[in-house]
Amino acid sequence: MDLLLHTAAVGIGATATMDAWTWARRWLFAVPAPDYALVGRWLGHFRRGVFRHDAIARATPLRHEAVLGWGLHYVTGVAFATLPVAVAGTGWLAAPTLLPALAAGVATVLAPFLLLQPGLGAGLFARRTPRPWHARLHSLGNHAVFGLGLYLAATALQLTR
């Protein structure tokens, strides 16, 4: 159980790090933040058997979609926190190193490229967006920051032990 709680705490910390980066970019550079309500809308439509939208913003809004979207965002971060542990072993939590965390973070960018963006109507690898390479680089940067967050959260937990 300690392993699960520890990994969950790392995932929450890494996701919060990515969110802090998103908010900093928004404040410093006017880069729009992701709208997790739209992610919640996408997820909420699953129960209706709809897994892909032409444009999620035009889909029927759902009650509590923002809560659902933010919840999925953090649950996904916790799930992704298992990657450096799976690759480097449970010892990584006791002595975190940067490379497995960054590699895991960068690898997680495949989830939005292959699942989320097509489901929201942006196409594979954001190909249906007005500036696909811009969207891809933003996604890659955010997920690299998530990887850095995995390392920072795991290190911070070690300092509290």
Tally of domains within the chain: 1
- In angstroms, the CA 109 to CA 71 distance is 18
Are 14 and 149 contacting, i.e. CB atoms less than 8 angstroms apart? yes
Q: Considering the domain boundaries, does residue 95 fall inside one?
A: yes
The pLDDT assigned to 161 comes to: 72
Q: Considering the domain boundaries, does residue 13 fall inside one?
A: yes
**Length reported for the chain:** 161
Query: Which pLDDT tens digit goes with each residue over 55-114?
Result: 999 999 999 999 999 999 999 999 999 999 999 999 999 999 999 999 999 999 999 999
Residue 89 sits in which domain range? 2-34+81-159
Are 129 and 55 contacting, i.e. CB atoms less than 8 angstroms apart? no
Q: Considering the domain boundaries, does residue 7 fall inside one?
A: yes
Q: Considering the domain boundaries, does residue 96 fall inside one?
A: yes
Compute CA distances 78 → 56, 59, 83, whole Å.
25, 28, 10
